[in-house]
Structure 1
Amino acid sequence: MCAILQPHRSSKFGRGRERHRAVAGTRRGAVRRRDPPVDEAFLGSRRGAARSIRLRARLGARPRRAVSVGAMTSIVLFTNDLRLADNPALAAAIAAGPVVPLAVDDPREHGAWPLGSAARAWRALSLASLARSLEERGAWLAYRAGDAAEHAAAIARETDARAVHAAAAIEPDRAAWQRRLREALAREGVALVAHAPNLLHEPEALLTQAGRPHTVFTPFFRALVSRVAFAAPLPAPARIAVPAKRPASMPLPEPAGAPPALLDAFAQGEAGALAAADRFFSELVATYEDLRDVPSVEGTSRLSPHLAHGEISVRELARRAERVARESADPRAVFGAQAFLRQLAWREFAYHLLHHVPHTPSRPLKPEFERFWWERDEHVLRAWRQGLTGYPLVDAGLRELAATGWMHNRVRMVVASLLTKDLMQPWADGAVWFWERLVDADLANNTLGWQWVAGCGADAQPFFRVFNPVTQSRRFDPDGAYVRRWVPELARVPSRWIHAPWVAPPHELEAAGVRLGETYPLPLVDHAVARARAIEAFRALRSSM
C-alpha cells in the first residue's frame, strides 16, 4: 500500500471528514455488469477502411497512434470533459490527423437527470472558455444543439471524418445515450471511440476478491491506492490541426439562469480550474486538514465545479497532491495533501458505485429503505429550499446555494441531515434540489452523499447519528461569521445566541432587531424531539426486516 495515502476520513458530498463505520450491502442480484466504459474500437471510413486504437484506462496512460495511411480527420465530441490538457479523446484524435472539435447540447444525453439551471449556466461559460483556448491553438469549436448523432454524422460527411472520439460515459442515462450514439454513427460508417473517463481507475477492474463491487470505502481505498500509478498527465497541445472545411456552428449558449453571485465566486473554464489548483497547492493545502470544515473561511479547494465539468482531470490533481505529500518539508502540507487525496478517492468510490449499481440516483442502495415511511410535506420542503427552517446554519447554507450555486461541504451534510432525519423528508427530494441548484452537480457524488446522510447508501453513517444543527454551527462557525453573511437578518445577534436565536433573552433579540416568527422563523421542529422520532423510525424499520 502506498505510504502516502492512508485510509482515514472520507468525504460525503466531496469534502467531509466523518468516519465511515457502517457496512452497507447490495440487494442480491442488484449489481449488474455493463459494457466496460473504455472500448477497443475500429476507426473506419465509409469506404470500409479500418484501423484500430487501443485505449488504456490506467492513470496517465497515453493513447497509441493509429496505424493509418495518411492523416485521418476525426471529430472530438466534448461532453463533460471541457479541457485540452490530459484529455485522452483529444490526444488520440490529434495523433490520427486533423481534428474537428464539437460540442452538442443534446436534450437526451442526461435522460432523467438533465442539467440543472446552475450547471447549465456554468457549462455555457465553460464552453466559451474552451472555444477561446481552441482558437489560441489554431482550431475552433463547432457548437450544435439537438440530436448529437445527426449533427456528428452531418459534420463527418462534410469533413470526411472517419471517427468520433469522446470520453466514456459512466452515468447510467449518459451511458445508454452513448450506446445509441455509437449505433447511429455506425449506420453512417463512422466509429465512436470511447476513451478513459475522468477517473483514476477502470471500474470493472477494481473489484473485491469475490469479484463484486466495493460497497465499503476503506477496502475500496486500499485497493485503489495499491493500483494507481501517478504518471504524468497528458499535456495540452500547442497546436491543433483542423480540416480545410469548417462546418457551420450555432452561437454558443448564454449562461441563462446563472446564480446571481456565480461570476464573483468562481472563474469558469480550464484556465479557472488551473488557477484554482495552483492556489490550493501553493497557499491552502497546508491548512486544508484544519480549515476545510470551517465554512466562513476559504479552507477548501473549491475545485468541485471544475471537476464536475471536466475542466481539469482528476489525474492531474492526484499527481499534484501526491507530489506535495511526498516532497513537502511542511508536515501540515503533507497532511493536507493526504486528506485531499482521500477526497479524490471518495469521488472515485461514488463513480464506481454508480457504474455498478445504476439504480441508486432514484432508489436506495439498501433495499430495506424502499419501505421506509418518509413524511413528505410540500410546505416543509418549500421552507427548507428557501432557507427558512429556523436553524441558522442550515438556512445560511441554502441561501449560499441560491446565491452562488455552491455550498460548503460541511454545511451540505448538516442541511441534508436536517431534511432527512429531523424533518423526515425523502432524501431523493433533497438530491433533486441539489442537482438543480449546484454548479458542481455530479450525479455520482450527489447520490452517494445524500444516501450516506440518510443511512440508506454505501458505507452510510449509522441511523442513530443525526447531525445537531446547533452543535455543528457552534463548532464550525463559532463566531457566526458564516451565518451573518448569508442570514443578514441575524447579523446583529451576539455570537452567544446566533446559533440558536430562539433561546436568546428577549431584550437581546430586540436589540438585534429580530422578531422570531416575523423577521426570522422559529425552528420547523425541535431537534431533540425530531432526533428521537427519527431514531425510533429507523429502529422500527430494522426490526421489521
Structure 2
Amino acid sequence: MQSHDPHPHSFSTMTAPLAIFWFRRDLRLEDNAGLSHALASGSSVLPIFIFDPAILTGLPPDDARVTFIHDQLQKLRATLEKHHGSSIALYQGKPLDIFKQLLQQFPVRAVYANHDYEPDAQARDEEVRRWLHARSVPFNTYKDHVVSEKAEITKEDGRPYMVFTPYMRKWKTMQNPATCTPYQTLSKLANLVKDLDFPNLALSGLGFVRSSITTPAFQLNPQLLQDYAQQRDFPALSGTSLLSPHLRFGTVSIRHIARLAFEHSDIFCNELIWRDFFSQILWHFPHTRHSSFKPRYDDIQWRNNEAEFQRWCEGTTGYPLVDAGMRQLNATGWMHNRVRMVTASFLCKHLLIDWRWGEAYFAKKLLDYDMASNVGNWQWAAGCGVDAAPYFRIFNPTVQVQKFDKNLHYIHTWITEWNSLTYAAPIIDHAYARERCLKAYRQAVG
C-alpha cells in the first residue's frame, strides 16, 4: 500500500510547535481522553488517522468495518470543518513511516493517543514510541477504551484475577459514577490546527468498496436498561443495546455508558465488567490469542472436519438456533449474545472443531470484533479459558430453542425454509455428539 504524502504546501509553512493526536479505537470528539490531553497541552493539535496495511491486508474489499471507520472519519471531518475550521488528516501506510514523514514536515512537540491492548498494537506503539523518543518527542497514551485496564484491579498480592466474580466485586468497589467523569473535550476544540488542506482518502483509494452491511445505531435508554435482565436472553426481542460495534471503535464513550449502567442496570454493568475482565486477561496473558489459557486443553484431539465446518459457517447444520445465528452473522455482521454461546458451543463440542477456527471466522465477520472479548468468549465456550464453562457443560440446542425462542420467531426470521423438506437434516445426533465430546475432553484433560 502506498502511503500518502502529507500536504506539502500549507503544512510546510508551519513553524509553531504542534501536537499530534492519533485517532485509533476512539472515533469521537466528545469525552476522548487522549484528545483532551492533547488539546490541553498548550500546542495546536493536528488530528490524524492512519489506515495501516498490517490491519487492512487480507480483508475482503467490502469489509463492513472499513466502511464504518471511513464513514465515521468523514463525519468527524465534516463536523470539524463546519464548526472549527479544522479537520482530520488521513494517511495510508505503516504508522512508523507516516510519523517519519510528519516529523520531517512539522515541528512536532508531542504525540498523543489512547491505549490499545492487543499484542500487535502494543508492538506497533512501542516501535513508534522508541523512534519518537530518540528524537525527543514524547508519545503520551491514556486509558480510554475500558473503565479499568491492565493491572488496575488485581488480587492483594498483585496477581491478576482469573475468575470473574471476585474481579467483578472488586471492580464495583473501585468504580462508580465519580470515577467515570467525562473529559470536557468539546470546549477545547479551538486549539486544533486550522485552515489547512488536510489530506483525505476515498474508500476506493484504500482499495475497498462500500459494504452492503450497515452498522446499526445503538439503542440505550433507561427503559431498555431496566428491562435488560429480563429480555437480554431472547433473540427475537429488541432487548439488547447493539452497542458493541460502537464501543469497539470508540464512537461512544465507555465512561458515558458506564454511568448509565450504574444508574439503571446492575446486570448491564456486569457486561461492561466482562469486557474489562477479558481486556486485562489478554494484556496479562497475550499468548491466549493463540493458545488455551488452560494448556492441557491444547491436547484435545479435534476432529476439524472441513465439510462440517463449512456447514456451520453457512448455517446448514440442521439445528435451527445454530443456523439462525450463523445466518444472522453472515447477513448483518452481528449475532445475539445468547446465540453466540450456543453456536460456539456447538462448533467446539458437537462437531469437535478447534475453537480457533470459530474465533477466526467470527473475527472475519463480526462488526464488533474485539480480540480480547472474542478470544475470551470462545475459550469460555470451549472450556479452555479463564473462568470457563466446565467442559461437561454442553448446550443442548433444542432445549435452548424451547427456553429462548419457543415461538420460533427468531428462527423464522433467519431460516425461511424452516419446517420444510428443503431444510437440512441434523448434522449429528445430540446425544451421540455429547458422549463423543466428553470422551475427547476426558482423554485430554483427565
Per the normalisation by structure 1, the TM-score is 0.74
Amino acid of the residue matched to residue 329 of structure 2? L
**2:186 aligns to what SS in structure 1?**
coil
Match status 1:242 vs 2:242: no
Other-structure match for 1:378: 306
In the alignment, structure 1 segments of 5+ residues that lack a partner are 1-69, 268-275, 325-336, 494-513
Structure 1 residues 115 and 453: CA distance shift in structure 2, 3 A: farther
Structure 1 residues 427 and 257: CA distance shift in structure 2, 3 A: farther
Counterpart selection for 2:242 from 285, 289, 302: 302
Pairwise CA distance, 1:247: 5.8
Match status 1:315 vs 2:263: no
Aligned length: 425
Amino acid of the residue matched to residue 285 of structure 1? L
Other-structure match for 2:74: 128
Match status 1:233 vs 2:182: yes
Preserved contact between residue 99 and residue 240 of structure 1 (Cα < 8 Å): no
Other-structure match for 1:201: 148
Q: Distance in 1 between matches of 2:435 and 2:417?
A: 30
Match status 1:289 vs 2:289: no
Other-structure match for 1:74: 19
Counterpart selection for 2:378 from 444, 447, 450: 450
Other-structure match for 2:45: 99
- Coordinate RMSD, CA, aligned: 2.4
Other-structure match for 2:7: none
Preserved contact between residue 109 and residue 173 of structure 1 (Cα < 8 Å): no
Counterpart selection for 2:404 from 460, 463, 476: 476
Pairwise CA distance, 1:539: 1.9
Residues 198-229 of structure 1: per-residue CA shift (max 9 Å, x gap): 11123223211232111100111111111124
Preserved contact between residue 115 and residue 435 of structure 1 (Cα < 8 Å): no
Other-structure match for 2:270: 342
Amino acid of the residue matched to residue 296 of structure 1? A
**1:488 aligns to what SS in structure 2?**
coil
Structure 1 residues 391 and 134: CA distance shift in structure 2, 3 A: same
Residues 300-355 of structure 1: per-residue CA shift (max 9 Å, x gap): 0110000011111221111122133xxxxxxxxxxxx1110000000000000000
Amino acid of the residue matched to residue 46 of structure 2? V
Q: Distance in 1 between matches of 2:183 and 2:60?
A: 30
Preserved contact between residue 364 and residue 456 of structure 1 (Cα < 8 Å): yes
Pairwise CA distance, 1:154: 2.3
Pairwise CA distance, 1:153: 3.5
Residues 155-182 of structure 1: per-residue CA shift (max 9 Å, x gap): 3443322111011121111101100111
Preserved contact between residue 200 and residue 315 of structure 1 (Cα < 8 Å): yes
Other-structure match for 2:28: 83
Match status 1:528 vs 2:426: no
Q: Distance in 2 between matches of 1:109 and 1:416?
A: 25
Q: Distance in 2 between matches of 1:142 and 1:295?
A: 41
Q: Distance in 2 between matches of 1:140 and 1:248?
A: 6
Counterpart selection for 1:213 from 153, 156, 160: 160
Match status 1:158 vs 2:105: yes
Q: Distance in 2 between matches of 1:203 and 1:235?
A: 24
Other-structure match for 1:45: none
Q: How does 1:38-49 map to 2 (within 5 A)?
A: none
Match status 1:117 vs 2:57: no
Q: Distance in 2 between matches of 1:88 and 1:114?
A: 32
Match status 1:417 vs 2:345: yes
User: Which one is further off, 430-439 or 382-391?
Assistant: 382-391
Amino acid of the residue matched to residue 133 of structure 1? T
Q: Distance in 1 between matches of 2:374 and 2:61?
A: 13
Q: Distance in 1 between matches of 2:338 and 2:27?
A: 28
Q: Distance in 1 between matches of 2:129 and 2:57?
A: 16
Structure 1 residues 365 and 466: CA distance shift in structure 2, 3 A: same
Other-structure match for 1:542: 445
Q: Distance in 1 between matches of 2:102 and 2:223?
A: 45
Preserved contact between residue 50 and residue 90 of structure 2 (Cα < 8 Å): yes
Other-structure match for 1:389: 317
Q: Distance in 1 between matches of 2:100 and 2:203?
A: 22
Pairwise CA distance, 1:234: 1.4
Preserved contact between residue 308 and residue 440 of structure 1 (Cα < 8 Å): yes
**1:204 aligns to what SS in structure 2?**
coil
In the alignment, structure 2 segments of 5+ residues that lack a partner are 1-14
Pairwise CA distance, 1:109: 5.8
Amino acid of the residue matched to residue 20 of structure 2? I
Match status 1:222 vs 2:169: yes
Preserved contact between residue 109 and residue 177 of structure 1 (Cα < 8 Å): no
Structure 1 residues 322 and 360: CA distance shift in structure 2, 3 A: same
Preserved contact between residue 122 and residue 258 of structure 1 (Cα < 8 Å): no
Per the normalisation by structure 2, the TM-score is 0.90
Q: Distance in 2 between matches of 1:248 and 1:346?
A: 39
Preserved contact between residue 115 and residue 436 of structure 1 (Cα < 8 Å): no
Amino acid of the residue matched to residue 281 of structure 2? L
Quick check: which one's helix share is greater? 2
Other-structure match for 2:89: 142
Pairwise CA distance, 1:71: 7.9
Pairwise CA distance, 1:89: 0.8
**2:281 aligns to what SS in structure 1?**
helix
